[in-house]
């Protein structure tokens, strides 16, 4: 079990070395230490995963140290390894290692590279702590660790106001979700008298039907606990209501976007629900809530993604939508399908984000797709990589065969399972199919706007000014980058260029995952027999009956995802290749709908009116009226004023004449004698 300890703690050791060494250590040594540690962790993770796929491994626990003990409360620091952990180990370490390597090229001109790479490794360590947790306190430690690291990474360019604001927003919104998660942990300990995950899951069925007091009323115990825990999942995995931080996280460097949105932080909520799936299975209400919230998020994010023009924000909303698929899969009991989509999604979403970073790098940090076009011949490797990612996320494949990209196997399994589950699953299926159509449309829209059509970048005045503005608000290294390519007057033309090899290698590797992950591993995750054998070595509640039912759904159900994928592709092709005037005509005719989607259903404006402005008003009131008007006025400022006034009075007594002082002494002596006589 020494390998699991190396997998988890090597990134921490690398983060400490790079973080403390910083500029004294130097850029290259810091990158070598952190990247090397992640590739070692990745190399150690894959054999563990493959051993579970082959059925040659059993769950195990590696003790680290005795952590906390108080009365009946006991929290040991242990690293749990089972099939569920093994999936997350390869996802986290693989994507993180490739992001580290990619960052060698993308952040090459960044002067503060050791700090950046230290944050990346710290993030990875926190996520590894989360997925190897054997008790809820350890899971919470990793949960908060990824929240802290994401705050540091999103706000890495802290001189940029929008980046600092996005980091604060992510931190605050996640604190709302974490409050629910903490209450869920407290309630779970109250009910089960333990925070050990295996003990809780073993005892959970026995608590079905019991009630607990909450907010002055009696409710079903397991429903309350599961819903509180799910609130935490909504915050971390950006489900509807607590999703607003996710698109703004794009203010961080692109490798950060890939790491947060592909493999780590945003999948923590899905992992937690699947890890505690035997708890959720005891509450039908909680399962229905998870289903409906996931389906609503899937629809919301897909609709918003159709209107975005920032290449990274389009992919960010697609992440939000894909997470919705994972949650409604878990809500209908298809936990294997949820984890399979998490697994495949990590590869093609990391590929899309890093591919977008390569496009941005080629276009000198311009992110607006309206000023791209005809880039497939300029950056061919990036083009083919992003095409592979798009084929995967849109679910291209032929039902009933083994031909298909990664998303075809996992997303289709989710939709078929939802249909087979019936009830809320039927609603989720219909929403999921419609969202698949929108996914196909906005994904191919991105490809067509970026790589096809006429070039909209050569000699564009907008591009020059946009690039100048972007660099002017970015870090010093990017200002130098701008000067190098455009001249100090910002008017010289430029030509898109392919990314360096250390950025292209991760794209090629992730492309292989986007193409082959579904073909190679669908049997272990979602096959009724193979899945039952694979997930038996974990805490996940694999529903073999549902998987059998999902394979037997009507033919039209199996072909629905393919039909909507082709429809979305056709619409995008017609609108952005054949008839490029269609989008403008559509938005002019349906401007109310377009503005509604462009403004993200006005969630930010609504929250700003309901929460942000009142919070600022209350804070301003306590600051001006409470702190300054009351505490300072009658406290330190009031006492200071009293001393000053007293000083003015006593200063008048200092006349400098001897008889004045003698009179004061005489009066004081008389007062003292009088007091003594009266006391006696």
The 10 Å Cβ neighbour count of residue 409 is: 26
Query: Cα separations (Å) of 281 from 122, 204, 208, 275, 329?
Result: 34, 9, 9, 12, 13
What per-residue confidence (pLDDT) applies to 263?
59
For 496, 647, 650, 655, 657, the CA distances from 667, given in Å and listed in that order, are 94, 20, 16, 17, 16
Distance CA 171, CA 447 (A): 32
Side-chain-facing half-sphere of 376: CA atoms under 13 Å? 13
**What is the tens place of the pLDDT at every residue in 309-344?**
999 999 999 999 999 999 999 999 999 999 999 999
- The per-residue pLDDT for range 199-228, each reduced to its tens digit, is 999 999 999 888 888 877 889 999 999 999
The average pLDDT across 263-273 equals 87
If you average pLDDT over residues 153-177, what whole number do you get?
90
Query: What is the predicted pLDDT for the residue at 346?
Result: 93
Residue 110's alpha-carbon distances to 323, 473, 474, 539, 635, in angstroms, are: 32, 14, 11, 43, 48
Q: Which tens digit of pLDDT belongs to each residue from 557-583?
A: 999 999 999 999 999 999 999 998 999
Which helix H or strand E contains 498, and what residues bound it? none
Looking at residue 24, its pLDDT comes to 83
**Are 338 and 407 contacting, i.e. CB atoms less than 8 angstroms apart?**
no
DSSP category for residue 404: B
Tens-digit pLDDT profile for residues 98-136: 999 999 988 888 888 999 999 999 999 999 999 999 999
Is residue 658 over pLDDT 90?
no
- Residue whose entry in the numeric block shows the structure tokens 């009142």: 614
How many distinct helices (H) and strands (E) make up the chain? 31, 4
Task: State pLDDT tens for residues 434-457.
Answer: 999 999 999 999 999 999 988 887
Angstrom distance (rounded) from CA 81 to CA 45? 11
Regarding pTM above 0.75, the answer is: yes
Q: Are 349 and 429 in contact (CB under 8 A)?
A: no
CB contact at 8 A, 5 and 64: yes
Task: Using CA atoms of 331, 336, 342, 344 in order, give the dihedral in degrees to the nearest 10.
Answer: -140
Rounded Cα gap, residues 658 and 506, in angstroms: 93
462 pLDDT tier (thresholds 50, 70, 90): very low
- 435 is written with which tokens? 């969202």
- Read off the pLDDT band of 645 (50, 70, 90): confident
> Residues near 518 by Cβ (< 8 Å), separated by ≥ 6?
344, 392, 397, 404, 405, 406, 407, 408, 409, 410
Rounded alpha-carbon distances, angstroms, from residue 402 to 397, 522, 523, 553? 8, 10, 11, 18
Residues 412-419, mean pLDDT to the nearest whole number: 95
Q: What's the rounded Cα separation, in Å, for the pair 270 and 325?
A: 10
**Among 300, 293, 548, 314, which residue's Cα sits nearest to residue 424?**
293
Round the average pLDDT of the chain to a whole number and report it: 88
What is the b/e burial string over 379-399, where b = at least 16 CB atoms within 10 angstroms of the residue's CB? bebbbbbbbbbbbbbbbbbeb
Closest-CA residue to 71 (of 211, 158, 216, 195) = 195
Picking from 170, 410, 174, 423, the residue whose alpha carbon sits closest to that of residue 290 is 423
Which range, of 72-76, 334-338, 367-371, averages the lowest pLDDT? 72-76
Q: In whole angstroms, how far apart are CA 48 and each of 86, 89, 142?
A: 6, 9, 21
Which tokens in the block code for residue 385? 């990589």
Phi, psi at 73, each rounded to 5°: -80, 125
- Indicate the pLDDT class of residue 653, thresholds 50, 70 and 90: low
188-209: average pLDDT: 92
DSSP-derived 3-state class of residue 76: strand
| Res 1: pLDDT | 57
Is the model more confident about 460 or about 62?
A: 62
**Distances from the Cα of 542 to the Cα of 274, 325, 401, angstroms:** 10, 17, 24
What is the tens place of the pLDDT at every residue in 588-633?
Answer: 999 999 999 999 999 999 999 998 899 889 988 888 887 777 887 7
pLDDT band at 489 (very low <50, low <70, confident <90, very high): very low
**Alpha helices (H) in 452-553, listed in sequence order:** 461-472, 476-486, 501-526, 528-535, 544-551
Query: Between the CA atoms of 258, 261, 264 and 270, what dihedral angle is there, to the nearest 10 degrees?
Result: -160
Instruction: Return the sign of the alpha-carbon dihedral for residues 239, 244, 247, 250.
Output: negative
Q: How far apart are CA 296 and CA 294, in angstroms?
A: 6
The mean-pLDDT minimum among 263-267, 400-404, 409-413 falls in: 263-267
Give the bridge partners for 61, in sequence order.
80
Asked whether 44 and 5 are in contact (CB, 8 A), the reply is no
Structure tokens at 617: 């008003």
The reported pLDDT for the residue numbered 480 is 34
> Tokens in use for 410?
């996992």
Return the bridge partners of 397, or none.
404
- Residue whose structure tokens are 């429903």: 223
- Which residues share a beta bridge with 218? 213
């Amino acid at each position: 079990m020494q390998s699991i300890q190396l997998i988890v703690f090597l990134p921490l050791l690398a983060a400490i070395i790079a973080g403390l060494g910083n500029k004294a250590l130097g850029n290259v040594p810091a990158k070598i230490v952190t990247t090397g540690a992640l590739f070692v962790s990745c190399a150690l993770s894959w054999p563990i995963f493959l051993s579970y796929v082959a059925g040659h491994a059993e769950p195990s626990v590696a003790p680290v140290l005795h952590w906390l003990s108080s009365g009946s409360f006991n929290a040991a620091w242990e690293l749990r390894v089972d099939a569920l952990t093994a999936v997350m180990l390869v996802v986290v370490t693989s994507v993180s290692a490739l992001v580290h390597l990619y960052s060698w090229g993308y952040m090459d001109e960044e002067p503060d590279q050791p700090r950046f790479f230290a944050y990346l490794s710290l993030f990875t360590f926190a996520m590894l702590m989360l997925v190897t947790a054997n008790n809820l306190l350890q899971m919470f430690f990793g949960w908060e660790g990824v929240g802290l690291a994401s705050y540091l990474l999103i706000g890495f360019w802290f001189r940029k106001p929008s980046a600092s604001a996005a980091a604060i927003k992510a931190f605050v919104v996640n604190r709302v979700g974490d409050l629910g998660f903490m209450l869920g942990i407290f309630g779970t300990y109250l009910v089960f008298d333990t925070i050990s995950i295996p003990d809780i899951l073993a005892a959970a069925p026995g608590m079905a039907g019991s009630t607990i007091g909450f907010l002055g009323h009696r409710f079903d115990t397991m429903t309350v606990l599961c819903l509180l825990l799910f609130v935490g999942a909504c915050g971390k995995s950006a489900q509807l209501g607590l999703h607003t931080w996710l698109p703004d996280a794009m203010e961080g460097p692109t490798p950060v976007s890939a790491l947060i949105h592909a493999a780590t932080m945003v999948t923590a909520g899905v992992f937690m629900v699947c890890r505690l799936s035997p708890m959720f299975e005891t509450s039908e209400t909680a399962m229905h809530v998870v289903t409906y919230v996931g389906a609503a998020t899937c629809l919301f994010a897909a609709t918003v993604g159709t209107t975005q023009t920032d290449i990274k924000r389009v992919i960010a909303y697609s992440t939000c939508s894909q997470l919705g698929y994972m949650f409604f899969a878990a809500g209908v009991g298809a936990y294997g399908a949820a984890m399979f989509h998490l697994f495949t999604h990590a590869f093609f979403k990391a590929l899309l984000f890093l591919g977008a970073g390569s496009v941005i790098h080629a276009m000198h940090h311009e992110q607006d797709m309206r000023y791209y076009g005809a880039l497939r011949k300029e950056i061919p490797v990036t083009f083919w990589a992003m095409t592979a990612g798009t084929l995967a996320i849109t679910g291209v494949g032929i039902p009933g065969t083994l031909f298909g990209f990664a998303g075809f196997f996992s997303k289709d399994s989710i939709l078929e399972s939802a249909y087979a589950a019936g009830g809320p699953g039927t609603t989720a299926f219909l929403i999921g199919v419609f969202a698949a159509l929108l996914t196909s449309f906005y994904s191919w829209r991105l490809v067509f706007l970026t790589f096809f059509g006429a070039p909209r970048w050569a000699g564009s005045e907008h591009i020059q000014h946009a690039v100048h503005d972007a660099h002017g608000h970015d870090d010093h290294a990017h200002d130098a980058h701008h000067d190098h390519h455009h001249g100090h007057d910002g008017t010289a033309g430029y030509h898109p260029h392919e990314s360096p090899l250390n950025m292209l290698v991760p794209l090629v590797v992730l492309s292989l995952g986007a193409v082959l992950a579904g073909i190679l591993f669908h049997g272990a995750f979602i096959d009724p027999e193979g899945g039952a054998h694979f997930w038996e070595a974990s805490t996940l509640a694999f529903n073999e009956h549902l998987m059998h039912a999902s394979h037997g759904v009507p033919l039209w159900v199996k072909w629905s995802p393919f039909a909507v994928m082709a429809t979305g592709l056709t619409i995008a092709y017609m609108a952005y290749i054949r008839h490029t005037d269609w989008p403008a005509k559509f938005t002019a005719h349906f401007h109310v709908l377009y503005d509604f989607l462009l403004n993200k259903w006005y969630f930010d404006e609504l929250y700003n009116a309901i929460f942000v402005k009142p919070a600022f008003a209350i804070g301003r009131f306590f600051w001006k009226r409470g702190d300054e008007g009351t505490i300072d006025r009658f406290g330190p400022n009031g006492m200071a004023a009293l001393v000053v006034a007293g000083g003015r009075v006593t200063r008048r007594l200092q006349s400098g004449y001897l008889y004045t002082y003698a009179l004061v002494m005489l009066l004081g002596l008389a007062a003292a004698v009088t007091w003594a006589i009266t006391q006696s």
